[in-house]
Amino acid sequence: MKFVAFLLIGIFVWLPVGVLPETAAKAKPARFSVTVEPALPVNGSPVLFRVKTDQALKSLAGTWLGHRVAFNFDLSNGEWYGFAGIDLATKAGRHALQLEGALTVGGRSAFTEFVTVRSAQYPSSRLRVARKFLDPDAETLERIKEEQAIKREVFRRVGSNRLWNGDFVAPVNNIVTEPFGVRRVFNGKLQSTHQGLDFRAALGTPVKAMNSGEVILAREMFFEGGLVVVDHGQGLLTMYLHLSEFKTAEGDRVAKGQVIAMSGATGRVTSEHLHVAVRWQGEYLDPGTLLTMKLP
């Protein structure tokens, strides 16, 4: 067997070559295994990336469709998981999830997983609303402009730490009356895409937080009516619209299933109902898909 000498404080120490100090050996790159939920994601869908490696990592970060994805470690199964989303405007095809992990033994490993996104077929609907919501006067336009500025400022303050825990729950136990992604034609003119989920909800129905988080907005808006926004951390928000009464205030911490408001018919509506939206890093995602996902 060959030997090599190391000088430690004036003393020669002989070690076999096969047991050189760990820091002298170059760390091997980690091998990555990635799974995606849902297995066949479409434009407008939330996604959960699960990552396993053959070497222990201190941290893991990702980039997906121009967004940074934060990953957390699940001790129960030894997987890293990161929540992300696919904008409605995303084209069908293969898109890169770029991963970079810091190894516990030192060094870094990178990996790219290509995820196939399919194109969803969203329907259209025709609605009639008061003319003021389609052709607002100068005073109303100024109010809308001010409210847009408020929302932009609030959304910039979204927290980086994960506040949600486990699966998301429905805000009311009622029937969905209009799904996500519907192209909405108001008074005969295409005006918008439905960026949320509508639930049948009689006036005064208790509305529950879909997961734990912090209330970052609770006030009356022109289009949204009574609006509550809950920050779940890492860029993930849930939004509750057309409310008749608030049961929480800005700055409150709320628990999953906690009553945060009462449903109503405020803002741009045709009848009383609850509109719920899910927003991730500025992109609106399908709440219906989120409610079917199994989350750590």
Phi, psi of 88 (to 5 degrees): -60, -30
Q: Report how far residue 153's alpha carbon sits from residue 198's, in angstroms, rounded to the nearest whole number.
A: 26
Residue 123 pLDDT greater than 80, yes or no: no
Q: What is the pLDDT of residue 159?
A: 82
**Where residue 278 falls among pLDDT bands split at 50, 70, 90?**
very high
What is the length of the chain? 296
pTM: 0.85
Q: Report how far residue 69's alpha carbon sits from residue 63's, in angstroms, rounded to the nearest whole number.
A: 6
Contact 104, 58 (CB under 8 A): yes
Q: How far is CA 218 from CA 151, 230, 239, 251, in A?
A: 11, 9, 10, 9
204: left (phi over 0), alpha (psi -120 to 50) or beta: left
152-184: pLDDT as tens digits = 999 888 888 999 999 999 999 989 998 998 876
Which pairing describes strands 79-85 and 67-74: parallel, antiparallel, or unpaired? antiparallel
Residue 18 pLDDT greater than 60, yes or no: no
Higher pLDDT, 15 or 271: 271
Higher pLDDT, 286 or 28: 286
Q: Report how far residue 97's alpha carbon sits from residue 112's, in angstroms, rounded to the nearest whole number.
A: 6
In the numeric block, which tokens belong to residue 139?
Answer: 């005073």
For residue 138, which amino acid is it? A
124-146: pLDDT as tens digits = 665 555 566 567 889 999 999 99
Q: What is the pLDDT of residue 126?
A: 55
Q: Report how far residue 259's alpha carbon sits from residue 213's, in angstroms, rounded to the nearest whole number.
A: 13
Q: Report how far residue 136's alpha carbon sits from residue 23's, in angstroms, rounded to the nearest whole number.
A: 68
Residue 89 pLDDT greater than 80, yes or no: yes
Residue 241 pLDDT greater than 70, yes or no: yes
Q: What is the mean pLDDT of the chain?
A: 88
Q: What is the pLDDT of residue 194?
A: 83
Residue 185, strand partner residues: 126, 190
Residue 276 pLDDT greater than 80, yes or no: yes
Q: How far is CA 280 from CA 86, 95, 137, 238, in A?
A: 9, 18, 32, 9
20-69: pLDDT as tens digits = 344 434 668 899 999 999 999 999 999 999 999 999 999 999 999 999 99
Q: What is the pLDDT of residue 27?
A: 67
Q: What is the pLDDT of residue 255?
A: 98
Q: Report how far residue 256's alpha carbon sits from residue 251's, in angstroms, rounded to the nearest whole number.
A: 16
Stretch among 17-21, 61-65, 187-191 having the lowest mean pLDDT: 17-21
In the numeric block, which tokens belong to residue 55?
Answer: 């070497």
Q: Report how far residue 282's alpha carbon sits from residue 142's, in angstroms, rounded to the nearest whole number.
A: 23
Phi, psi of 147 (to 5 degrees): -70, -35
Q: Report how far residue 290's alpha carbon sits from residue 71's, in angstroms, rounded to the nearest whole number.
A: 18
Percent of the chain with pLDDT over 70: 84
| Domains of the chain, each with CATH number or no CATH | 32-117 (2.60.40.1930), 124-290 (2.70.70.10)
Q: What is the pLDDT of residue 196?
A: 94
Contact 87, 117 (CB under 8 A): no
**Where residue 268 falls among pLDDT bands split at 50, 70, 90?**
confident
Q: What is the pLDDT of residue 19?
A: 40
